[in-house]
Amino acid sequence: MTYTVGSYLAARLAQIGLKHHFAVAGDFNLALLDQLLTNEETEQVYCCNELNCGYAAEGYARANGAAAAVVTFSVGGLSIINAIAGANAENLPVILISGGPNTNDRATDHLLHHTMATSDLSYQHDIAARITCCAVTIISPDKAPYQIDSAIRAALRESKPAYIEIACNIAGASCAAPGPVSSLLAGAPSDPATLEAAVSTAADFIKGRKKPLILIGSKLRAAKAEAAALALAQALGCPVAVMAAAKSFFPETHPQFAGVYWGEVSSPGTREIVDWSDGLICIGTLFNDYSTVGWTSNPAGANVLTLDIDHVSLAGHDFSGVRLAEVLDGLATRVEANPTALNELHRLRAAPAVVPEAPPEAKLSRTEMMRQIQGLLTGDSTVLVETGDSWFNGMNLALPEGARFEIEMQWGSIGWAVPATFGYAVGAPGRQVIAMIGDGSFQLTAQEVAQMIRRKLPIILFLINNRGYTIEVEIHDGPYNNIKNWDYAGLINVFNAEDGEGLGLRAGTGGELAEAITRALGNANGPTLIECALDRDDCSPNLISWGRRVATANARPPQPK
Ligand code: TPP
């Protein structure tokens, strides 16, 4: 078989497990898209715009481990930047592929359409280089295989986005055949001596503590170390709390699960047990102003052992170049069971409160909405929550074994959830995909519901219509937090046009919501959007507490010189 630059890239995408790639067409990438279409093992999935395309790929990477998005030069390449920077922040290997100007127009004074009427055509590469772990521009078919492999290998190893720009007249040019894919998939091994030193120092730290406790953070998935963390937890027999951004990265049905640790807005009893521990084992954690509740809960100091993706640190020690999964595997064989903190957790923790069912004709409340969403979850569910009160409502969900939870908490860009949910559902066809999205966020990227309809995906979208940016109201209110109301449920018919099978339903009472959920479960050939009408101030108490702390942190005056 002979290869072109484009078909080589397609082969690599298929080999690394991408059964789909997301795309928006434009004249700089049409020849490339044609080449990608020649490979039947990676299907082209179209998006309404490039920002959505980036988020769809980001969601796909959450479901599938990696993803690719293909856009045209400049007008597309700059639109997708927000989503790719988000993938960087969230440690997801999304490969951004852009068509590029013809080689004959580079290094000349030719002015091209879609550019800022400047002959410097390197700006998109330069911008992409700032937000990816590897950026390559391909202007020669001879070098293409090496450049493509370098970018994909870096993305997979570092769990970060990479950038591949391909000149539009090079995509169809012949190039060498791909070698074994294992060269892209093999991770860099730990240095054995450093690994041994890191594991034995960390094991000593744990042995020296009376009340060790594990805290899991969002980087655990990027390190592909969920199974290794579970094995260490079981060997140690201690409580395991998760950070909000890592919800579902440790099974919530496990007897050692200690809830979500999020400072003042933690699950009941979780903050107390974390504070009580004299040996906090932080695995893949990331502390920022939001996760520390405005810097009020920021674990640090001599009682903290940090096990990061490629790095172990504790007071007086620092070891880098070690892989997290190998560190955890090593520790699991060296620690002794210590259930002290688990016993204390059982004493501290009250039985979960049972939320009574609201009368079916009563006006819909947030608690009744969440009670019904909770009842919907199975081990096959994945819940995606958009920035807003959905973060806080989602945290309280008790996830059945196997259920997954997705949150874009480091980047926190509203508009993420609709396209990311679309991409996630493309990447996880067997799962029940549910999203909770505020009205304000929905308005950014709503049109991607049309792609869910196009692909007949039975996603359930809970559109929370509380008439504004409630999370912003709690941080800092003003007229800018009011938004124009839409007929959200009615929008689905607009997207259905002549052939779609999406359902748009409205729930103003608990009874209407129950009926809408029943209809959604029966709608197998398209998404169902359920518009839940809530009062503007019907938000979770945790949002209020957290918002107050974050507002205080934001309002700190400059330090005097
Ligand atoms: N623009 C982007 C792209 N991302 C952001 N995070 C913001 C602005 C600031 N922001 C954060 S949350 C939010 C805004 C504007 C409002 C969310 O409102 P909504 O989706 O209605 O959710 P609610 O808080 O009402 O639950």
Predicted complex ipTM:
0.99
CA of 48 relative to ligand 1 center, distance in Å: 21
Substitution candidate for ligand 1 out of 469, 538, 554 with most atoms within 8 A of CB: 469
Residue with tokens 């096990």, as numbered in its chain: 307
C-alpha to C-alpha distance for 462 and 384, rounded to whole angstroms? 10
Q: Which residues have C-beta atoms less than 6 Å from ligand 1?
A: 386-390, 412-415, 438-441, 464, 466, 469-472
Which residues contact residue 127 at a Cβ distance below 8 angstroms, ignoring those fewer than 6 apart? 78, 81
Residue nearest to atom 17 of ligand 1 (CA): 469
Report which ligand 1 atom has the smallest distance to the Cα of 439.
21
C-alpha to C-alpha distance for 310 and 346, rounded to whole angstroms? 34
Q: Which residues are bridge partners to 507 per DSSP?
A: 532
Substitution candidate for ligand 1 out of 51, 408, 441 with most atoms within 8 A of CB: 441
CA of 244 relative to ligand 1 center, distance in Å: 18
Q: How far is CA 151 from the centre of its chain?
A: 21
Report which ligand 1 atom has the smallest distance to the Cα of 415.
3
- Parallel, antiparallel, or unpaired: how do β-strands 162-167 and 404-407 relate? unpaired
DSSP labels for 299-318?
Answer: --STTEEEEETTEEEETTEE
CA of 472 relative to ligand 1 center, distance in Å: 7
DSSP-based three-state secondary structure for 224: coil
- In the structure encoding, which two tokens stand for residue 47, read together? 């998006």
CA of 40 relative to ligand 1 center, distance in Å: 39
For residue 134, the 8-state DSSP code is -
Closest C-alpha to 260, from 398, 401, 372: 398
The predicted structure's pLDDT at residue 103: 94
CA of 549 relative to ligand 1 center, distance in Å: 17
CA of 389 relative to ligand 1 center, distance in Å: 9
- Parallel, antiparallel, or unpaired: how do β-strands 311-314 and 317-320 relate? antiparallel
Neighbour order of strands in the sheet with 317-320: 257-261, 240-243, 212-216, 279-283, 304-308, 311-314, 317-320
The predicted structure's pLDDT at residue 109: 85
The predicted structure's pLDDT at residue 342: 93
Report which ligand 1 atom has the smallest distance to the Cα of 390.
26
* Length of the chain in terms of residues written: 561
Are 546 and 293 contacting, i.e. CB atoms less than 8 angstroms apart? yes
Substitution candidate for ligand 1 out of 467, 471, 488 with most atoms within 8 A of CB: 471
Closest C-alpha to 208, from 361, 314, 73, 329: 314
The predicted structure's pLDDT at residue 348: 86
CA of 470 relative to ligand 1 center, distance in Å: 8
- CB count within 10 Å of CB 511 equals 16
- Parallel, antiparallel, or unpaired: how do β-strands 460-465 and 528-533 relate? parallel
Report which ligand 1 atom has the smallest distance to the Cα of 437.
20
- Parallel, antiparallel, or unpaired: how do β-strands 174-175 and 3-4 relate? antiparallel
Report which ligand 1 atom has the smallest distance to the Cα of 386.
20
CA of 297 relative to ligand 1 center, distance in Å: 24
Residue nearest to atom 8 of ligand 1 (CA): 414
Residue with tokens 């999205």, as numbered in its chain: 437
Which residues contact residue 81 at a Cβ distance below 8 angstroms, ignoring those fewer than 6 apart? 54, 127, 128, 131
- In the structure encoding, which two tokens stand for residue 244, read together? 């909000």
Q: What is the pLDDT along the chain (561 residues), one digit of tens a residue?
A: 899 999 999 999 999 999 999 999 999 999 999 999 999 999 999 999 999 999 999 999 999 999 999 999 999 999 999 999 999 999 999 999 999 999 998 888 888 999 998 888 999 999 999 999 999 999 999 999 999 999 999 999 999 999 999 999 999 999 999 999 999 998 888 999 999 999 999 999 999 999 999 999 999 999 999 999 999 999 999 999 999 999 999 999 999 999 999 999 999 999 999 999 999 999 999 999 999 999 999 999 999 999 999 999 999 999 999 999 999 999 999 999 999 999 999 998 888 888 999 999 999 999 999 999 999 999 999 999 999 999 999 999 999 999 999 999 999 999 999 999 999 999 999 999 999 999 999 999 999 999 999 999 999 999 999 999 998 888 888 999 999 999 999 999 999 999 999 999 999 999 999 999 999 999 999 999 999 999 988 999 999 999 999 999 999 999 888
Report which ligand 1 atom has the smallest distance to the Cα of 412.
6
What's at 246, amino acid-wise? Answer: A
Report which ligand 1 atom has the smallest distance to the Cα of 441.
20
Residue nearest to atom 25 of ligand 1 (CA): 470
CA of 261 relative to ligand 1 center, distance in Å: 23
CA of 473 relative to ligand 1 center, distance in Å: 10
- In the structure encoding, which two tokens stand for residue 339, read together? 């259930």
Are 384 and 442 contacting, i.e. CB atoms less than 8 angstroms apart? no
Report which ligand 1 atom has the smallest distance to the Cα of 414.
4
- Parallel, antiparallel, or unpaired: how do β-strands 94-100 and 135-138 relate? unpaired
- In the structure encoding, which two tokens stand for residue 396, read together? 């309280």
Which residues contact residue 478 at a Cβ distance below 8 angstroms, ignoring those fewer than 6 apart? none
CA of 439 relative to ligand 1 center, distance in Å: 9
Q: Classify residue 114 as left (phi > 0), alpha (psi -120 to 50) or beta.
A: left
The predicted structure's pLDDT at residue 434: 98
Report which ligand 1 atom has the smallest distance to the Cα of 442.
20
Q: Which residues are bridge partners to 503 per DSSP?
A: 528
Substitution candidate for ligand 1 out of 414, 443, 475 with most atoms within 8 A of CB: 414
